[in-house]
């Protein structure tokens, strides 16, 4: 078995989720190579080389891979995939964008959002918004898989794998990067945070999301939101937790003013401890919450902040 | 230009699904079915492009059982001009669907293909990307805004995409493949007179064999289970009690 892991990048640096994908590769077993592709990614490659269980880091550093556009990334992976039995990436927007191209070009299926490994060809994945878990077996020669990173504990960073350059340069005349608008935040990244506090429609408006700031600061938490809060324009969409947003599984998830629609639960119900704060004691969120507090969030939040 | 839009018949998103007792699959007998919500957004975008004079014709296509014609009729009622049904009772995975759609693209030569970003049953998020790979066309996935810029040979499709850290805008040469994210638009409802008119619009029925495509895949579904139930929690009476429980019982603070 030989596995290629496509590294996750965040503003040119190695994203923490890469260590979770390597852990999934470890569960499959075999040699694990990590591919770091982008422009100016030497530092990211050095971080990847430190991850435990990695045999080798391959670096494709070229302007054509900048912003990891799907067309050149797909072509690069097709060039490299011949050496491997498995190609893995996280189920991030980049992994989801790029890996199905590789699968189609190699004429194999893709397994999306894998959250458990039974063996080298049998995997667990959620279907129907996480309301069922399917066990699937792939008889394809090449297994192309995106990993739900919250399903695997990250590997450590005490390794020292060799780094080797990949000279493959592909052409791309079909797509070009225009601009990026990234939401700025000093808080931990939503996908990897140990504590997440999310607001829903009950927050009333975007201004009121500031009520979550103090609590998030005290707990070192990331701030999330329900789709209702995003659609109402309270907060930007990258804060959305749910089937169509981010999937999180922190130690502690605090849902404030969130009713608990199926769509939202799909994104957070694997959290270790769930707290719900809602004025409607019939809200479905209380059926999954370990601790529920019925009451007015505008009174509860300031009190919670002062007492933490 | 012609716009091709792919739609899928799925279990209605409000239905709480049940796993079959023998764990072979999810129980779909007597369950309300509907058009996949992301596909509704794709149809809406195609129809809006027609209303703007960008699209000249909107063709809806689906792969699935006979009953999936209901969803094609819905697309026709929403403004599509004609429909293609590729009929199969087999479980068609993303790769097979992408191969069939690639054949339709070859035949119809659309200027743009719009799909939803994922179907809410399999949650795969693959078909659009696979179709782009198979047709050799560029892809704009998870689109929250689509805009055509330039003229003639300079004509480009600017797609704003919802990515993990925020938004990214890319420019694609046409023809191109776009998959829709939730914020691209607000789909309209079909009006009764349009539903009646849709019954008269052309709907071609084909089979995978007509295109020479095998639907069977090398991935087999071994088992479907319900996820572990969370055990019922408790309601606390005050903030003090909540903090105490989190510190001493759950030990997460």
Give tens-digit pLDDT for B171-183.
999 999 999 998 8
Give tens-digit pLDDT for B18-46.
999 999 999 999 999 999 999 999 999 99
CB B252 within 8 A of CB B245: no
B10 CB neighbours in chain A (<8 A) are none
Is residue A218 over pLDDT 80? yes
The pairing of beta strand B139-149 with beta strand B112-116 = unpaired
Domain boundaries, given as residue ranges, for chain A: 2-165, 195-307
User: Which of A100, A127, A180 has its CB closest to that of B126?
Assistant: A100
A260 CB neighbours in chain B (<8 A) are none
Contact (CB<8Å) A137/B93: no
Contact (CB<8Å) B170/A175: yes
- Strand runs (DSSP E) across A102-242, as ranges? 110-114, 116-117, 122-127, 132-138, 143-147, 163-165, 175-182, 195-199, 222-225
B148 phi and psi, to 5 degrees? -95, 130
8-state DSSP, A244: T
Smallest CA-to-CA distance from B85 within B11, B194, B8, B189 is with: B8
Question: Residue B160's pLDDT is what?
Answer: 98
Contact (CB<8Å) B236/A292: yes
Phi/psi-derived region of residue B97, left when phi > 0, alpha when psi is between -120 and 50, beta in every other case: alpha
Alpha-carbon distance A264 to A240, whole Å?
9
CB B98 within 8 A of CB B134: yes
A287 CB neighbours in chain B (<8 A) are 232
| Mean pLDDT of all residues in B192-221 | 97
Is residue B212 over pLDDT 80? yes
Same fold across A2-165 and A195-307: yes
Give tens-digit pLDDT for A88-139.
999 999 999 999 999 999 999 999 999 999 999 999 999 999 999 999 999 9
A15, A67, A70: best to mutate for the B interface, most B CBs within 10 A: A70
Q: Which residue of B has its CA nearest to A290?
A: B233
User: Which of B130, B158, B242 has its CB closest to that of A275?
Assistant: B242
Question: Residue A20's pLDDT is what?
Answer: 97
A69 CB neighbours in chain B (<8 A) are 170
Smallest CA-to-CA distance from A222 within A178, A189, A175 is with: A189
Contact (CB<8Å) A100/B240: no
Q: Which residue of B has its CA nearest to A172?
A: B138
Q: Specify the pTM.
A: 0.94
| Mean pLDDT of all residues in A41-53 | 98
Question: Residue B151's pLDDT is what?
Answer: 79
| Mean pLDDT of all residues in A226-232 | 94
CB A53 within 8 A of CB A185: no
Round the average pLDDT of chain B to a whole number and report it. 95
A122, A127, A240, A265: best to mutate for the B interface, most B CBs within 10 A: A127
Which residues of A are annotated binding-site positions?
Answer: 201, 226-227, 240-244, 257-264, 278
Q: What is the CATH number of domain A2-165?
A: 3.40.50.620
| Mean pLDDT of all residues in A257-281 | 95
Question: Residue A58's pLDDT is what?
Answer: 98
Contact (CB<8Å) B162/A93: yes
Residues of chain A above pLDDT 90, percent: 92
Is residue A70 over pLDDT 80? yes
Q: Which residue of B has its CA nearest to A304?
A: B239
Report the run of H or E that residue A29 belongs to, with start and end.
Answer: none
Question: Residue B86's pLDDT is what?
Answer: 98
A107 CB neighbours in chain B (<8 A) are 95
Question: Residue B165's pLDDT is what?
Answer: 83
Question: Residue A183's pLDDT is what?
Answer: 81
Residues 6+ apart with CB under 8 A from A120: A1, A28, A29, A30, A85, A86, A143
Contact (CB<8Å) A100/B94: yes
Task: Identify the band that residue B231 occupies on the pLDDT scale cut at 50, 70 and 90.
Answer: confident
| Mean pLDDT of all residues in A226-242 | 93
B126, B147, B176, B249: best to mutate for the A interface, most A CBs within 10 A: B126
Question: Residue B222's pLDDT is what?
Answer: 97
Contact (CB<8Å) B173/A175: yes
Give tens-digit pLDDT for A21-39.
999 999 999 999 999 999 9
User: For the CA atoms of A24, A79, A109, B83, what is the dihedral angle to 10 degrees?
Assistant: 140
Q: Which residue of B has its CA nearest to A230?
A: B183
User: Which of B219, B233, B245 has its CB closest to that of A109?
Assistant: B219
Give tens-digit pLDDT for B44-97.
999 999 999 999 999 999 999 999 999 999 999 999 999 999 999 999 999 999
Is residue A238 over pLDDT 90? no
Residues of chain B above pLDDT 70, percent: 100
Tally the C-alpha atoms within 13 A of residue A41's C-alpha that lie toward its C-beta.
34
Contact (CB<8Å) A293/B121: no
Q: How far is B225 from chain A (nearest CA, A)?
A: 5
Residues of chain B above pLDDT 90, percent: 90
Alpha-carbon distance A200 to A258, whole Å?
4
Question: Residue B149's pLDDT is what?
Answer: 86
Is residue B157 over pLDDT 90? yes
Which residues of A are annotated binding-site positions for FAD?
Answer: 201, 226-227, 240-244, 257-264, 278
What is the fold, at CATH topology level, of the domain defined by A195-307? Rossmann fold (3.40.50)
Could you report the predicted ipTM of this complex, rounded to two decimals?
Answer: 0.94
Contact (CB<8Å) B129/A100: yes
Q: How many CB pairs under 8 A join A and B?
A: 246
Task: Identify the band that residue B230 occupies on the pLDDT scale cut at 50, 70 and 90.
Answer: confident
Residue carrying the six token digits 């078909």: B127
Residue A157 buriedness (CB in 10 A; 0-12 / 13-18 / 19+)? middle
Alpha-carbon distance A37 to A87, whole Å?
14
Of the two residues B111 and B232, the one the predictor is more confident about is: B111
Task: Identify the band that residue B232 occupies on the pLDDT scale cut at 50, 70 and 90.
Answer: confident
Question: Residue A186's pLDDT is what?
Answer: 83
């Amino acid at each position: 078995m030989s596995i290629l892991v496509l590294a996750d990048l965040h503003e040119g640096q190695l994203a923490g989720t890469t260590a979770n994908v390597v852990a999934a590769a470890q569960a499959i077993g075999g040699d694990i190579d990590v591919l770091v592709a982008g422009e100016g990614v030497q530092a990211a490659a050095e971080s990847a080389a430190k991850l435990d269980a990695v045999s080798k880091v391959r670096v494709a550093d070229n302007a054509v891979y900048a912003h990891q556009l799907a067309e050149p990334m797909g072509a690069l992976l097709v060039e490299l995939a011949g050496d491997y039995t498995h190609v893995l990436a996280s189920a991030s927007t980049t992994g989801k964008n790029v890996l199905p191209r590789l699968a189609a070009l190699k004429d194999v299926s893709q397994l999306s959002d894998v959250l458990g490994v039974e063996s080298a060809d049998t995997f667990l994945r959620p279907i129907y918004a996480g309301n069922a878990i399917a066990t699937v077996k792939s008889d394809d020669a090449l297994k192309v898989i995106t990993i739900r990173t919250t399903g695997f504990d990250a590997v450590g960073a005490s390794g020292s794998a060799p780094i080797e350059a990949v000279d493959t340069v592909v052409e791309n005349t079909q797509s070009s990067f225009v601009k990026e608008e990234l939401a700025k935040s000093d808080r931990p990244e939503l996908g990897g945070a140990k504590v997440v506090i999310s607001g829903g429609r009950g927050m009333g408006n975007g201004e009121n999301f500031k009520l979550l700031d103090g609590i998030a600061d005290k707990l070192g938490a990331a701030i999330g939101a329900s789709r209702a809060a995003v659609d109402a324009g309270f907060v930007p969409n990258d804060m959305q937790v749910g089937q169509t947003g981010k999937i999180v599984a922190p130690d502690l998830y605090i849902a404030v003013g969130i009713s608990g629609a199926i769509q939202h639960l799909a994104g957070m119900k694997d959290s270790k401890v769930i707290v719900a704060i809602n004025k409607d004691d019939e809200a479905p969120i209380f059926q999954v919450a370990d601790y529920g507090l019925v009451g007015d969030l505008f009174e509860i939040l300031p009190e919670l902040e002062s007492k933490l | 230009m012609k716009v091709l839009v792919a739609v899928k018949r799925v279990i209605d998103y409000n239905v709480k699904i049940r796993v079959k007792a023998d764990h072979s699959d999810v129980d779909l007998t007597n369950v309300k079915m509907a058009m996949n919500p992301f596909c509704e957004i794709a149809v809406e975008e195609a129809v809006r492009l027609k209303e703007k004079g960008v699209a000249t014709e909107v063709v809806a296509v689906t792969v699935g059982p006979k009953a999936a014609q209901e969803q094609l009729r819905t697309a026709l009622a929403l403004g599509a001009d004609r429909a293609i049904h590729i009929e199969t009772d087999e479980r068609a995975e993303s790769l097979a669907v992408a191969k069939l759609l690639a054949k339709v693209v070859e035949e119809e030569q659309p200027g743009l293909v719009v799909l939803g970003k994922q179907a809410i049953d399999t949650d795969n998020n693959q078909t659009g990307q696979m179709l782009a790979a198979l047709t050799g066309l560029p892809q704009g996935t998870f689109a929250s805004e689509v805009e055509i810029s330039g003229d003639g040979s300079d004509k480009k499709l600017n797609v704003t995409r919802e990515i993990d850290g925020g938004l990214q805008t890319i420019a694609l040469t046409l023809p191109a493949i776009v998959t829709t994210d939730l914020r691209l638009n607000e789909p309209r409802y079909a009006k009764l007179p349009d539903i009646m008119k849709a019954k008269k619009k052309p709907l071609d029925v084909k089979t995978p064999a007509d295109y020479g495509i095998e639907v069977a895949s090398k991935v087999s579904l071994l088992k479907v289970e319900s996820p572990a139930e969370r055990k019922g929690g408790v309601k606390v009476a005050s903030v003090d009690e909540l903090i105490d429980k989190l510190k001493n019982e759950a030990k997460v603070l």
